[in-house]
Amino acid sequence: MGMRALAESDVGTWTWHIADDVLECDAAAATVLGLPRPKGSRGTPFAAFLEHIHPEDRRRIACIIADLRREGGLYIAQYRTVPVPGEVRWVLVRGRYIRNAEGVVDEAHGIVIDVTACSREGFLDESAFYATDAAAGGIDQVAEMALALYTAAENGLSRPGFDRLKPLLDMLLHQIGRQLVIAPAVPDLDSVH
């Protein structure tokens, strides 16, 4: 893993405040995505995120995200990041693009999991996919509930209480992420090439 080894966890969380163009990541997500974490900063512009996606995956992921910004819904994708020059990581990202009361997609949140160790010869079986809500079920439903639990704990507990619970939540999200990686493709998934 080199100098960018994820010391505590290879599962991170992210929130994108679309109207403000602010992408907030915890330390694990920022590390695997290659995003700076300046002290006192609220987050990073979304363009910085795109810059760290592997050039061969960037257009495909940008197209998926553009669709989700219009339609909202579930987001699951596997792609490569380049957190620092010369280092390539495979990630599984799962989240939800949320519509506000006016029906406009104004926020997205989710998890990112470093799945480089699961790649064989540098390639994952599925290059990228995303699911509609109708196709969600099984492990994906479990992932949705675990993400909601993580968010509820982060927002509802005191900082010390959340800090004690976070390693267990990270472990849960990590294992769910591993199952998402090895789960057979859902027939209703739209493949994006």
CATH, residue 83: 3.30.450.20
DSSP letter at 116?
G
- Tens of pLDDT, residue by residue over 41-87, are 678 888 889 999 999 999 999 999 999 999 998 888 889 999 999 99
> pTM of this prediction?
0.67
Kindly state the percentage of the chain with pLDDT values over 90: 20
43 with 23: CB under 8 angstroms? yes
Determine phi and psi for 127, rounding to 5 degrees: -75, -40
Q: Helix (H, G, I), strand (E, B), or coil: what is residue 130?
A: strand
Domain of residue 126: give its range.
Answer: 2-191
Q: How many domains does the chain have?
A: 1
Determine phi and psi for 131, rounding to 5 degrees: -115, 150
94 with 110: CB under 8 angstroms? yes
- Tens of pLDDT, residue by residue over 29-53, are 889 898 876 665 678 888 889 999 9
135 with 188: CB under 8 angstroms? yes
Distance CA 81, CA 28 (A): 14
